[in-house]
Amino acid sequence: MSKKYVYLFSEGNANMRELLGGKGANLAEMTNIGLPVPQGFTITTEACTQYYEDGRRVNDEIMSQVMDYVERIELLNDKKFGDLENPLLVSVRSGARASMPGMMDTILNLGLNDEVVASMIKGNPDPKFERFVYDSYRRFIQMYSDVVMEVGKKYFEKLIDEMKAAKGVTFDIELTAEDLKTLAEQFKAEYKNQIGTDFPSDPIVQLKGAIEAVFRSWDNPRANVYRRDNDIPYSWGTAVSVMPMVFGNLNENSGTGVAFTRDPATGEKKLMGEFLTNAQGEDVVAGVRTPMPITQMEEKFPEAFKQFKKVCKILENHYHDMQDMEFTVENGKLYMLQCRNGKRTAQAALKIACDLVDEGMIDEKQAVLMIEPRNLDTLLHPQFDADVLMKTVPLGKGLGASPGAACGKIVFSAEDAKAWNARKEKVVLVRLETSPEDIEGMKAAQGILTVRGGMTSHAAVVARGMGSCCVSGCGDIKMDEENKQFTLAGKTFHEGDYISIDGSTGNIYDGVIPTVDAKIAGEFGRIMSWADKYRRLKVRTNADTPRDARKAVELGAEGIGLTRTEHMFFNADRIAAFREMICSDTVEERVTALAKLEPMQQADFEGIYEAMHGMPVTIRFLDPPLHEFVPTEEEDIKALAKSQKKSVQQIKDIISSLHEFNPMMGHRGCRLAVTYPEIAEMQTRAVIKAAIAVQTRHPEWEIVPEIMIPLTGEVKELKYVKDVVVRTADMIIRHKNSNMKYLVGTMIEIPRAALTADEMAKEAEFFSFGTNDLTQMTFGFSRDDAGKFLSSYYDTKIYENDPFARVDQNGVGKLVDMACRLGRETRPNIHLGVCGEHGGDPSSVEFFHKTGLDYVSCSPFRVPIARLAAAQAAIKDENKKEALMKAFKNSSKTYEEIIEFLK
């Protein structure tokens, strides 16, 4: 029996997301609970996979099943596909298992051709109906040409603009039936001009082309970028839903809309959305016309609105989450076209989760799982200074589509946004309206400002998903994209001028407005307390200064997993002494130079210990190669020569001697301490003296310094440096009559260290995985240079994600897992952590939880993200365990035995 590739909506349910995609599964679920859904079918994600395996073509078996199901929905809807008397027109829509709004393609009004159009008009003499038919036809020709045949929309939009100008009208809706008929003919002529053949008239050919186009869109550039940003695997593929058309553009008694059961910007419990009469769904989301608020739908369609409010309640109670819905009213009758858990801002997500708990709809664990950890970032970044804001008059106002504050130089295209961002320029992207092709430019911009569109426009939805500031629908802007300028409130703004936008209020300001740190409270604290209640992993921070440490503690850090001591040497008052050490000819000279640095290092460490209030602090000894500290400018070289009583040439010779062909794998890390043990001695004295001093001032704290030796790959080099540390530390502790305990551990960042972790653990009392270096050494490419070629690897699907952003679980992850197991075999009480930036990436945190690490460490502002991700990992683990135990309820096996059995 052949594989089943097609399912009627009535054959599916919400649990079939992997097969039917989110859209298909939810259409099936809405059908099952009795909501008004036009009855169609879904082509599975397995068919998408087969499409790519067959060289990007829909094979005969899949197409045969599709046509069989076309016949089934003909019977269900009492219409016939391609028939002249009673034609069935359909929409063809994408739908991956994870929501990807605007990233893939849709085709509406499929099944129209000249004969069907003529027959439909002949059967209904109403001039308004004729206008509707030609409106639908010209939309179909444009959409099919763009999506299926990849003829740019611009050719057709130019023809529309010329027609409107000739007729002296502003909106498409003002064009007559005759105007639209002319446009349809012009569109077909433009199609032939671009493609070289006539526009396809066979509905079956149209349908196959549309299905292939939707499958193809799974691999378009914007979809690939979105998947990388949101951890969506390429292997998932997309499903395709084919459903009968219902027409919001039929007449003035018809319309279309998008709505949310709660405000996606604030989380407030109220129906929020937008609606357009005599329109199709694309008009609402594309921002072609500025829509009316959903509440005005009640005046236009009271019965349909009453039913719609009931549907909203049913769906939210059913899914236990805020719903994002698309719907159409045709001749006063409501049809539901889509529902999904709605995208929302971080602050809305927190409020909705807490409110749903208070309403008894979900429990604390479900609330924790509802929050996208990365979105917390938007709560933790600066907002506009309130005092300055009060004294500043806005130049204009749009819709506050996605909260936050953005300030930057104006750019007018996604390409410019990317280019300016690449050279470290902060920009605000200003557009008439955005389209899915703008995704990379939107990512690069601090914020987005659009002239057209509402709260559910592409710009608004995508910005909210990315956590970017967005102001949409500022119709007062007079745009001149060709000359890269616009006018607002009588002032002309050019490319490169500064502008500030407030995504909460929709206000637009001239120039630069200063920002202040965001304040977090209320629902944030509540969600975080639940996260802390259920997580197993501890969360530390990477902090080099007391200020960073205090901020991290404020955000919930439970210690420091990485203090980089080398950053302290770059201060103006210290770099001279460090360069003196580098240029020394003898051990005695180096010791003298290091003695100048010791009290400075000790003061630094005391500040950090004070900020952490007795929580654990891991201090990494000097790591970078020495060439990073020497001067490069001629004047600085002369000054160093004078202070060292050496010639300029001697200093240049020293600098030259430090040059390495591959410094990241050169004389750095523990290798410096092996060559110059006096550096490790000085740093040990500073660490231990600082700890004893702070412990004396705060006897209620228990300070246990953690000294981390970097870049070890051989147990004998670790032992050599550890012996230096222990000898120096013990001497100071005895001298101070202290009973202080301390730990000496190492960073696992060389593959050999992971492979020999059982030996390393004989000396190391803790491991901290430096996943940045471990990644580059495992892959064999430099993290500083990989960006030059990684894009080619993404395009060819060799890599789906940046391995420096998300831990490579198949390679680097295996090394981490192996090192954990080997280390614990030798030293069962060894504590294990990670201090690379992977410690703040949610998918990586979930992996580290499964691997059994004790803590993750990340930059201060990513601490809440890591806390939430750690809780989600623990809850998912528990849910999986419960599900397995339930599945094996008649078995006497333990959970561990079941896992081993399944392996």
Residues designated catalytic: 458, 835
Tally Cβ neighbours within 10 Å of residue 263: 21
| ∠ CA 785-788-794, rounded to 5° | 120
For residue 80, give the DSSP letter. Answer: B
**Residue 847 identity (one-letter amino acid):** F
Instruction: Please tell me the distance from the alpha carbon of residue 705 to that of residue 86, in angstroms, as a whole number.
Output: 81
Of the CA atoms within 13 Å of residue 136, those in its CB half-sphere come to: 29
Instruction: Please tell me the distance from the alpha carbon of residue 533 to that of residue 560, in angstroms, as a whole number.
Output: 21
Tally Cβ neighbours within 10 Å of residue 613: 14
Per-position DSSP letters for 264-327, written without gaps between them: TTT--SS-EEEEEES--HHHHHHTSSPPEEGGGHHHH-HHHHHHHHHHHHHHHHHHTS-EEEEE
Instruction: Please tell me the distance from the alpha carbon of residue 820 to that of residue 391, in angstroms, as a whole number.
Output: 57
Closest CA to 400 of 468, 349, 346, 466: 468
Residue entry with tokens 């209030």: 613
CA distance from start to end of the chain: 29
Instruction: Please tell me the distance from the alpha carbon of residue 827 to that of residue 835, in angstroms, as a whole number.
Output: 21
Instruction: Please tell me the distance from the alpha carbon of residue 167 to that of residue 161, in angstroms, as a whole number.
Output: 10
**Residue 216 identity (one-letter amino acid):** R
Strand order across the beta sheet in which 272-277 lies: 292-293, 272-277, 255-260, 323-330, 333-341
Instruction: Please tell me the distance from the alpha carbon of residue 517 to that of residue 555, in angstroms, as a whole number.
Output: 12
Mapped onto helix, strand or coil, the DSSP state of residue 484 is coil
Residue entry with tokens 């000054």: 639
Kindly state the tokens that stand for 521. Answer: 């409270």
Instruction: Please tell me the distance from the alpha carbon of residue 356 to that of residue 319, in angstroms, as a whole number.
Output: 11
Following CA atoms 199, 119, 180, 156 in sequence, which dihedral angle do they give, to the nearest 10 degrees?
Answer: -20
Longest Cα–Cα distance of the chain, Å, equals: 105
Q: Which helix (H) or strand (E) holds 813?
A: helix 812-826
Residue 215 near residue 186, CB atoms below 8 Å: no
Per-position DSSP letters for 310-373, written without gaps between them: HHHHHHHHHHTS-EEEEEEEETTEEEEEEEEEPP--HHHHHHHHHHHHHTTSS-HHHHHHHS-G
Tally: H helices and E strands in the chain = 35, 31
Closest CA to 651 of 633, 678, 669, 625: 633
Residue 701 near residue 613, CB atoms below 8 Å: yes
In sign, the C-alpha dihedral spanning 309, 326, 112, 277 is positive
Residue 710 near residue 770, CB atoms below 8 Å: yes
Residue 406 near residue 469, CB atoms below 8 Å: yes
Instruction: Please tell me the distance from the alpha carbon of residue 110 to that of residue 280, in angstroms, as a whole number.
Output: 14
Instruction: Please tell me the distance from the alpha carbon of residue 270 to that of residue 294, in angstroms, as a whole number.
Output: 11
Q: C-alpha distances in angstroms, 13 versus 236, 453, 846?
A: 18, 34, 29
